[in-house]
Amino acid sequence: MGMEDFVVTTAFDVRYVETDAMGIVHHSAYIVWFEEGRSAWFRERLRDPRGYALIEADGYAMALTDVSARYVSPARFGDRVEVHTWVSSVRSRGLTVDYEISHADSGAMLCKGSTRHLCLNRDGAVVRIPDRWIARLSL
Amino acid sequence: MGMEDFVVTTAFDVRYVETDAMGIVHHSAYIVWFEEGRSAWFRERLRDPRGYALIEADGYAMALTDVSARYVSPARFGDRVEVHTWVSSVRSRGLTVDYEISHADSGAMLCKGSTRHLCLNRDGAVVRIPDRWIARLSL
Amino acid sequence: MGMEDFVVTTAFDVRYVETDAMGIVHHSAYIVWFEEGRSAWFRERLRDPRGYALIEADGYAMALTDVSARYVSPARFGDRVEVHTWVSSVRSRGLTVDYEISHADSGAMLCKGSTRHLCLNRDGAVVRIPDRWIARLSL
Amino acid sequence: MGMEDFVVTTAFDVRYVETDAMGIVHHSAYIVWFEEGRSAWFRERLRDPRGYALIEADGYAMALTDVSARYVSPARFGDRVEVHTWVSSVRSRGLTVDYEISHADSGAMLCKGSTRHLCLNRDGAVVRIPDRWIARLSL
């Protein structure tokens, strides 16, 4: 099975700090939730609770270069949300990850987005994603 | 059973955004984790996933007036943490809530803290905690 | 002069909390910096330190519906950054705002981005931007 | 002049993201503002815009071990706030820093607090603050 077919869903409760004076979740919280979805994806994909931290411990980073988000409807404190995360494309030196965030109870769509990442080594140089990581992420 | 005997534990993974340039979780994240522990306490105590949002919907707030935290050892990305939360004292117009945050795997203590809260009505006036809420929170 | 020709620059120091375990500013901080640039734009455009808060006090919100950002080079703690903000298009019911974030000393580009906004009234309905606000924002 | 007599004031506008669903600034933002006050103190004390980053570049950290805050009155979006920061005690291996946050226009007190710090070297061991840093911070 390819990396692209592996969709991971993680759920959590809205934190009060994530709300703003409009009474709804601030748009920047969804960018953090994308990251939380991505972290869950790595944890499940690598079948290890340390997840992406294993890649960093190996000397590589998947540095984020682009983010985009479209906000569909608001979330509020007291809501539980789900983040659905999958890798939408793999390149030799990077990945694109897509996200859908929905209300856990109603299933209503809250936000869709995407992030692009480049593989860096410890010196910060852009490098090919090591074959061993491609293999582990694709199994 | 009194409010004080009810300890709620909630667990979650460190978010990458919560780390800082020292490579560890920034101290302000623990203040947010206290809130997450408190939110879990209300969800479990009220046996309702909306938790504290029910109190706000009823026109009251438990406004935070004091916070203190002691940091014992650092958490890192890749760690799973537990927040243990209990009400350490109940006053007619307020509550004190205590927290212990530990590493989920090792049980190592990471941080201890406390927050004090005053009950406000919709006009922002300090009021007695309504009897119906004292009752629901004490059952 | 149209709204589109008015570029506002605001500068501030990187906050330690905004860094992450890579030793650089976390990508979500730039989304907050876009907002800080937008807030500065409203403060200067309305020639009032309350800025956008005046629009909210009048019963309207410029709700964010889309965000995109491209990250060019990293910022670190100890850096001072500049956000350059301008309205790139005005529609009857909304605005698009563009941003460039650069290193204050070297002028090096750090991040470019854009946000789209819809005008909401107190009921959360999408409405035309009131003529009086168009006028005040265009002078 | 001792370190303790040097009070640094820095001012900035409330960020919208710092507000919460109560319509006021979330208590965790003040913890970040303490840090911003501390950063300004180091920038002014060391007469260098990099401030505390110089100490880190030299291989030392002033790790935060305790924080406490008392919230007096709320701030809102549209407010400009001032943080007044000073070192209230110096120990061989650490510092205590005190803060008062007030409304810039009215001078109304918003929050008081304190943080304690221990000097760490690159290995994370608690060490004496190097004499050269004591000297530079005391001039």
Which helix or strand (DSSP H or E) is residue D133 part of? Answer: helix D131-138
Tell me what pLDDT residue C139 has. Answer: 59
Token pair for residue D77? 């979006």
> How large is the average pLDDT for residues D104-131?
97
Contact yes or no for C20 and B24 at CB 8 A: no
Residues comprising chain D, all counted: 139
Residue of D57, D60, D74, D137 whose CA lies nearest to D109: D74
Tell me what pLDDT residue D138 has. Answer: 85
Would an 8 Å CB–CB cutoff place B53 in contact with chain D? no
Would an 8 Å CB–CB cutoff place A18 in contact with chain B? no
Tell me what pLDDT residue C3 has. Answer: 67
CB B55 within 8 A of CB B84: no
- What SS3 state is found at A60? coil
Strands (E), C1-139: 8-13, 61-71, 80-91, 94-103, 109-120
Contact yes or no for C68 and A68 at CB 8 A: yes
Percent of chain A's residues with pLDDT above 70: 96
Contact yes or no for C51 and D78 at CB 8 A: yes
Closest-CA distance, B15 to chain C, in angstroms, reads 10
Q: Within 10 A of D77 (CB to CB), how many other CB atoms are there?
A: 22
Nearest to D15 among C16, C32, C76 (CB): C32
| Residue numbers in chain B where pLDDT is lower than 70 | 1-4, 139
List of chain C residues whose C-beta atoms are within 8 Å of the C-beta of residue B21: 16, 19-21, 23-24, 76-77
Is the pLDDT at D3 greater than 70? The verdict is no
Q: In what order do the strands lie in the sheet with D8-13?
A: B8-13, B80-91, B94-103, B109-120, B61-71, D61-71, D109-120, D94-103, D80-91, D8-13
**What is the CB-side half-sphere exposure of residue C51 using CA atoms within 13 A?**
24
Which helix or strand (DSSP H or E) is residue D30 part of? Answer: helix D27-45
Contact yes or no for A27 and C71 at CB 8 A: no
Task: Determine the Cα–Cα distance for residues C8 and C20; give it in Å rounded to an integer.
Answer: 28
Task: Determine the Cα–Cα distance for residues C79 and C104; give it in Å rounded to an integer.
Answer: 8
CB D42 within 8 A of CB D120: no
- Per-residue pLDDT of chain C (139 residues), as tens digits, is 566 779 999 999 999 999 999 999 999 999 999 999 999 999 999 999 999 999 999 999 999 999 999 999 999 999 999 999 999 999 999 999 999 999 999 999 999 999 999 999 999 999 999 999 999 988 5
CB B102 within 8 A of CB B110: yes
Residues comprising chain B, all counted: 139
Task: Determine the Cα–Cα distance for residues C8 and C84; give it in Å rounded to an integer.
Answer: 6
pLDDT in tens, B15-31: 999 999 999 999 999 99
Q: Within 10 A of D81 (CB to CB), how many other CB atoms are there?
A: 23
Question: Between B27-45 and D27-45, two packed helices, what is the crossing angle to 10 degrees?
Answer: 170
| Residue numbers in chain A where pLDDT is lower than 70 | 1-4, 139
Contact yes or no for A52 and B13 at CB 8 A: no
Would an 8 Å CB–CB cutoff place D26 in contact with chain A? yes
pLDDT in tens, D18-53: 999 999 999 999 999 999 999 999 999 999 999 999
CB D73 within 8 A of CB D112: no
A6: amino acid identity, one letter: F
Closest-CA distance, C31 to chain A, in angstroms, reads 6
Nearest to B26 among C17, C23, C28 (CB): C17
Contact yes or no for C54 and D78 at CB 8 A: yes
What's C19's DSSP letter? B
List of chain D residues whose C-beta atoms are within 8 Å of the C-beta of residue C51: 78
Q: Which residues, listed in sequence order, are joined to residue B117 by a DSSP beta bridge?
A: B64, B95
